[in-house]
Amino acid sequence: MSAQKRPLSPHLQIYSKQITSVMSILHRITGVVLAIGSLGLLWVLVVLSLGDAAFSATQACLSSGLGRFVLFAYSACLMYHFFNGIRHLFWDIGKGFAIPDVYRSGYAVIVLSAMSTLGIWWLALQGGAA
């Protein structure tokens, strides 16, 4: 069918990357990761409600090296999607569309999500958690 052969826009092979487009697709990618990861949160809630034996197995799994890595990646995705989502909500009410503002808020999101991810892990490791 000829409809299948239409060129893709933007033409990804020659499309120059900008912080705006990269952050936009990152919002989607982190969104998909978080949606799948939310089923992990459901799992934690379920085993928590099932009692000590069920929870300690999950706890051991999450405390392992791989478990911590997954939790770290999840928290980083969550913080990025959280701050960038707030940026999107401001756009939705018509604020911050000027190009300098878009770049400023973009860099702010990157800095805030990095700092808050470190903050979460500082807090978690302080209490001996994770």
Rule CB under 8 A: say whether 86 interacts with another protein. yes
Task: Report the alpha-carbon distance of residue 99 to residue 20 in Å, rounded.
Answer: 10
Residues in region 46-75 near another protein by CB under 8 A: 46, 48-49, 52, 55-56, 59, 62-63, 75
Rule CB under 8 A: say whether 85 interacts with another protein. yes
User: At its nearest, how many Å lie between another protein and the CB of residue 22?
Assistant: 17
Task: Report the alpha-carbon distance of residue 19 to residue 102 in Å, rounded.
Answer: 9
Task: Report the alpha-carbon distance of residue 47 to residue 23 in Å, rounded.
Answer: 35
Under a CB-based contact definition with an 8 Å cutoff, are residues 30 and 77 in contact?
yes
User: At its nearest, how many Å lie between another protein and the CB of residue 63?
Assistant: 7
Tokens 């939310």, located at residue: 38
Cβ closest to another protein, residue 110 vs residue 120: 120
Rule CB under 8 A: say whether 78 interacts with another protein. yes
